[in-house]
Amino acid sequence: MMFPFFSGFFKKRRERLTSLSASAIARRAEAILGLPAIGLFYWVLAWLSAITLQSVWVDLDVDRWSVGQPAPATVIAKVNFDVPIVTASKRATAGARVIPKQPPRVETISAGTRLVAGKQFLTPDILATLRAHQLRHDEGKLLFRQSGTFAGNALLMALGVMLSALLLQWVPPGRLSRNSMILLFVVIAILTLLLAKWCLVLDRLVMPLPPAVLSRLLPLALAPILAAILIGPWPAIIMGFWISYAAAIFAGYDFPVFVIGLAMTVVTARLARSVRTRAKVLRIGLLAGAAGGVFAVGFALVAHQPWLDIIQQVVASLTGGLISALVVLMILPLLEILFGVTTDISLLEFADMEHPLLKRLTIEAAGTYHHSLMVANLAQAAVAAIGGNSLRVTICSYFHDIGKLVKPEFFSENIPLESSPHDELVPSMSSLVITAHVKEGINLALRYKLPWPVLEAIQQHHGTGLVSFFYHKASLLQSRQSDAQANARPDTVVHEEDFRYPGPKPRSREIAVLALADAIEAASRSLEKITSGHVENLVHDIISSKLKDGQLDECDLTLQEISRISQSFVFTLINMLHGRIRYPNNERSHQQQAESRADEPS
């Protein structure tokens, strides 16, 4: 009777141990953090990198130093240690009077105290202090102590990583929905922590700086600026939190470093949302440094530090912000290439109307070129009204119809008034020619190396919309054939799917606005009478038809934003289609105009 009991007991224990396998733990971590397996791997990589950098330090062998030589490097106490105080009585000669033995007095030196500055000449007292510190530090390198310190740092770093990953789940996914963007997030963090650690080690070897000044010099604004430009403002805030947290641990658990890093992060995330010039990057770095300097002054005043130290800390904070901005300008193009991200700084290069594709449009498809400019005006104002990226939608509008360069004469804005090539084609063939301009546009964009946002706009600006003119024309022809014949053949039935664009539907607010502006600008050419009422009805009808057709289902536009877009379209379109005074046309008016011109001063 006992054997079945024990077998069931061990079976339950075995199942419990099996549930704690590596894969099961990974699944539970994914459920808690809301991350896929690859995203979890990237966060573990960030944790391991931080722990590795925290463990790296440069030990100096002071046993080889001698009295009278300059110190090869600055030495900062890493542990608390005691130094015996040598008094004048202990230095007395042998002929002095005998003093009863007393326990020697000691002085406790705290961790973080500068023991000697670089290039400072060594005295017997300084050398004795350095050797006492090294002895105490070597005692702390026992296995138990060292493993305990490492475990504590690992735990603190892991908590910081987990908190950052959880905070990312509260922000809109945006670009971070892609694993490549999570990897970019981690790479930016590792680069910034590597530079911060390098500054700490370099000070120990080369530059004799006070600890307070050194901590203000750390490039804490580097990661938030890069994250805000490449990913977005909310990820930049979380990035700044993680960098400030890890840098504070690097600097000996320095709380002011954490607070100053957060201040720089908030300023950076607020200002770096729309960076279009390199000068603005430098300005953001200086403002972030100024924000850190203000907090540094506050901490210095609380600690009753002298004004000279306060000024040094402010200058160091400004220098750290400027260094961060300069590093951003150096590595930003490389990160754009490696991770396929297009920033506004890069997009601005395509605003030049002398681009070869735009020049071809002006010559080979003048109507399409004018249509693209009008769409850009409509879309730019509408996107600005909802707080979107107006520069991105403007550049996309310029190039969204470049596929029409292949057969420009088949599109209405380029067709001469007297004839149309569609008169000799069946509706299905005309629809194929019209929808093919999307594929041809992508081919041209790839050939001319246009950025990825432009390719997305070319592919999505029609969504899966219906080529309604030729669909209704085909339906009318089919109904006439059905009336002429008793039974229509199955192959003559018109399918709506054959007259739709391949898609996909717009997946961003900017491309959705571009799609609406494209349809509205084209339809506005058919208005016989330009009044505010007619324009409002036109805009309302087209937006309603897009909504009913589901073309806006995959973008994150809200109804309130659609209302603002509609108002912007109406306002801009009325100004674009404004009327002019009709000039008189008879001979008398011509004579009066000539006389008035003759009277004008030359």
Of the candidates 360, 375, 338, which has an alpha carbon nearest to the alpha carbon of residue 405?
A: 360
Name the 3-class secondary structure at 466.
strand
Half-sphere exposure of 283 toward its Cβ, with a 13 Å CA cutoff? 10
Helices 222-230 and 179-205 cross at an angle (nearest 10°) of 160
Burial of 201 (0-12, 13-18, 19+ CB in 10 A): middle
Runs of H (alpha helix) within 340-365: 344-347, 356-364
Burial 165-175, CB ≥16 within 10 A → b, else e:
beebeeeeeeb
Tokens of 224: 């938030």
For residues 243 and 262, what is the distance between their CA atoms, to the nearest angstrom? 9
For residues 21 and 5, what is the distance between their CA atoms, to the nearest angstrom? 25
Tokens of 139: 């005692």
Identify the pLDDT of residue 183. Answer: 85
Torsion, CA 573, CA 575, CA 577, CA 581, rounded to 10: 160
Does the bond joining 172 to the residue before it have cis omega, within 30 degrees of 0? Answer: no
Name the 3-class secondary structure at 355.
coil
For residues 155 and 158, what is the distance between their CA atoms, to the nearest angstrom? 5
For residues 331 and 323, what is the distance between their CA atoms, to the nearest angstrom? 12
Q: Residues of the chain whose pLDDT is less than 50?
A: 1-6, 9-10, 13-14, 16-22, 25-26, 28-29, 31-33, 88-96, 143-144, 488, 587, 590, 594, 597-602
Burial of 519 (0-12, 13-18, 19+ CB in 10 A): buried
- Please tell me the pTM assigned to this model: 0.73
Of the candidates 114, 127, 129, which has an alpha carbon nearest to the alpha carbon of residue 82?
A: 129
Of the candidates 38, 333, 349, which has an alpha carbon nearest to the alpha carbon of residue 178?
A: 38
Half-sphere exposure of 224 toward its Cβ, with a 13 Å CA cutoff? 31
Strands (E), 114-163: 114-116
For residues 472 and 469, what is the distance between their CA atoms, to the nearest angstrom? 5
- Report the length, in residues, of the chain: 602
Identify the pLDDT of residue 61. Answer: 61
Identify the pLDDT of residue 482. Answer: 63
For residues 459 and 453, what is the distance between their CA atoms, to the nearest angstrom? 10
Cβ of 520: how many Cβ atoms within 10 Å?
A: 26
For residues 329 and 335, what is the distance between their CA atoms, to the nearest angstrom? 11
Name the 3-class secondary structure at 459.
helix
Three-state DSSP string of 391-414: HHHHHHHHHCCHHHHCCHHHCHHH
For residues 107 and 84, what is the distance between their CA atoms, to the nearest angstrom? 6
First and final C-alpha spacing in the chain: 123
Right CATH for 354-465+500-576 from 1.10.287, 1.10.3210, 3.30.70, 1.25.60: 1.10.3210
Of the candidates 290, 303, 283, 281, which has an alpha carbon nearest to the alpha carbon of residue 229?
A: 281
Q: pLDDT tens digits for 497-520?
A: 889 999 899 999 999 999 999 999
DSSP assignment of 68-117 = TSBPSS-EE--S-EEEE---SGGG--TTSPP----PPPEEEE-TT-EEE-
* CA angle in degrees (0–180, nearest 5) for 530-536-538: 80
Dihedral pair phi/psi, residue 111, rounded to 5°: -65, 140
* CA angle in degrees (0–180, nearest 5) for 62-67-68: 120
In sign, the C-alpha dihedral spanning 427, 430, 434, 436 is positive
Burial of 256 (0-12, 13-18, 19+ CB in 10 A): buried
Which residues, at least 6 apart from 209, have a Cβ–Cβ distance to it below 8 Å? 74, 203, 217, 316
For residues 174 and 228, what is the distance between their CA atoms, to the nearest angstrom? 12
**What does each C-alpha distance from 213 to 143, 302, 312, 313, 528 come to in angstroms?**
33, 16, 6, 5, 72
Dihedral pair phi/psi, residue 129, rounded to 5°: -65, -40
For residues 258 and 247, what is the distance between their CA atoms, to the nearest angstrom? 7
Identify the pLDDT of residue 253. Answer: 83
Identify the pLDDT of residue 496. Answer: 85
Largest CA distance in the chain: 139
Residue type, 78: K
